Structure 1
Amino acid sequence: MSKIPLIIESEYKTRVQKKSFIVMTILSPVLLVLICCIPILIQVFNTADVRNVTVVDQTGLYRNVFENTDEYTFSYLDSPTTTEQMRNDAQPYAYVVITGNLLNNPSALAIYSHKQTTTGFESHIRTCMEEYLREQKLASFDIPNLQEIIDESNITLNITSIRFDEEGDTQTSADFASFIGMASTLIIYIFLFMYGGMVMASVMQEKTNRIVEVMVSSVKPFDLMLGKIISVGLVGLTQIAIWILLIFGLMVGLGAAVGIPLLTSESASIAQSLNTAGAMTATPAVNPEMAEMMQTLSGINFTQIIVCLVLYFIGGYILYASLFAAIGSAVDNDSDTNQFMIPVTIIILFAFYVGLFSVENPDGGMAWWCSMIPFTSPIVMMVRIPFGVGIWEIILSLVVLYGSAIAMTWVAGRIYRIGILMYGKKVSYKE
């Protein structure tokens, strides 16, 4: 009778009951949400005082250019002011000194201040003045309605992408497909390293404490290795599920606390219209831009993407976890681990970069072959799927991936058995 279920149960309970697992599972999403929300919190709570700015216009041409805002209050002086007078007067935040006609001399504007002015302030001054000078320049041509003519000549082109498929014509978007593909690739890339490293650390720990020798005498190396890999994978899936729930709850709660509700009646109607055929045209609350976005989203086969993401994550995890387990059983200390990790890291990085460049050419030769090779297919194929991939390609890629993963698990079990039983002895090339 196989003892794999017992190994999985024992390893799983041991890991999820650790204090470190509980603490990191709770703290990680909290820290992630705080990091993502720091800019929002700064904008909400960082209310700066209104800064007084004195404009010294020696030409008298630009008195009404700058208008008061929530951040700056402008006052104007027509009489010339010396640098010494400005240095002795510390009340204004800054002096904006205009010494000549800016249309003829664009360098005739300078900012004086006792402290370094911010980039936002300088950008505000530049933007206001450039808009005013542009209007003055257009007026100097003495062409009636020139500004209106220029505004009407600015054309924004909206391109609609339609893909032919078996279900009919489907509206798509290259931007959405690229984003989904890269997001899926990044998720698999991160978690392969995270949970693969967890398997390697577990193997090295058991090899060091020597308790595993008793287990190997009563359990097949393949069963022990497969049970360890599956248990760590289940721990990872449990952690990911908890993270998703906590992040969603924290985002909703934090949004409500700062007055930015994430779940509103409008978002609910949008979500409902996404799941209802033809609801976009019948939903008056949705503006045309939102309706077009929902139409594009409805053309993406999220079911296929999610199913493939799970399948490629599991297959890729088993494959690379077996590699990490083999590395952990083949070394005796952490310093040797780095040498064996270099080839594995290069392979994963190569797959990531191929996936990155496959966004521009998902049907290219490099992308196709790397989506079939088991060591690169979990990452590269997830970039290609949003752009449309034949079912036979996905099935072939998965068959090769899972076949290679099972074979690698068997090899890792053999290496694990040799590494445990021959602890302290040099291993021959044959072994």
Structure 2
Amino acid sequence: MAAGLLISAPASGVGKTTLTLALARAWRNRGLKVQCFKSGPDYIDPAFHAAATGRASVNIDSWAMDRATIAHLVSRGTDADIVLAEGSMGLFDGVAARGVSGTGASADIAEMLGWPVVLVIDPSGQAQTAAAIVAGLRDYRPGVRLAGVVLNRVASPRHEDLVRRALNDAGIAVFGALPRHAEISLPKRHLGLVQAEEQAEIGKLIDEAARFVAEHVDLDAVLRSAAGWSPQPAANGLNVTPPGQRIALARDAAFSFVYPHMLEAWHAAGAEISTFSPLADEVPDASADVCWLPGGYPELHAGRIAANARFRSGLRAFAETRPVHGECGGYMVLGAGLTDADGVRHEMTGLLGLETSFAKRRMHLGYRLAALAVPMPGHHAGARLRGHEFHYSTILAQPDTPLAVVHDATGAVIAETGSQRGRATGTFFHLIAEDR
């Protein structure tokens, strides 16, 4: 029987990812099988989890996924000794309107699966008030059980003592306290952490985090706080249709934002995936029947993409006979031009008329529900797709046929409709699931 925990916090930026990776590696070093998950739509963290545990991690999302899909995904933890789910944002942070099985809050997953919560608390600038915040989180939702806390970035032994005493008085277990330690800071950029595959020293960084946390946190006490859990494999698998039988997938530093559960679902449905690198001026496999350009950081490589004539002409030739779809950054590359943060316009593939710019950054963030107006690879017109959008680009022109009517989580219609021209389609959102 596996034991489950959810790592959360009162807010973003407190240290959830670092603690999750450190605990996972420390327990793995003890010979335990550790399975990680990511609650919410963050597509970067699962790769870090895999680096720490040696096992693939996937996203589980209560706004976009039904309970059967979540049950199917977490059933991979059946053979693990400990399951760690990393939360997103604050414990109860989600959207205002309920989605398929919840609001997207980490608390939804904790309650749904019965996993106790370990809170990471940064008490900088406070002392006893930290205990009041934790007590409020503990009591806010009866179905969510608090296991205890780990203090992060404590200023001094005296500071730690003040916070510990207040937490003990409130009946809250303190598993450990971490002083500031710059050596285990994970590098970031504008869409979150720099991806695991871009960091040559990621293994050493996780090892150092595990050593540091093992020195300051009672790993045995944390492990004992986990709830015994026997996942039951769901009768239904993932509700994801592959876009084709043989999929040419762009995959490099500019095109890397792919939800792991999507790729697994494509494989499980019998699809074959071949990868190619636009940054290396490669073209899609000629035997593929569809090409998929995921999101990533094309704005950091726009000049190189524009200069890679073989890739651009090869993609245009592919699109003459077979469908091509782009998500977010991939959508931008399917467009006519991309203006970088310095105001320089770079010619893209021109399969769509989309013009985007990073010269005036504007954040677009949130869940998306799209009703397709026209078909896209793997999905018919009228299909309802759930996804998530996160980018800083501004639309200068979106002249083609709208792909979908797109709503945010409140039901408001948004301007980022996606586009369709010929066999090319694109969306700003990253697909998570189709409504059953």
Task: Please report the TM-score for the alignment, with normalisation by the length of structure 2.
Answer: 0.23
- Where relative contact order (Cα < 8 A, 6+ residues apart) is larger, the structure is 1
Kindly indicate which of the two structures has a greater share of residues assigned to strand: 2
> Rg bigger for which structure?
1
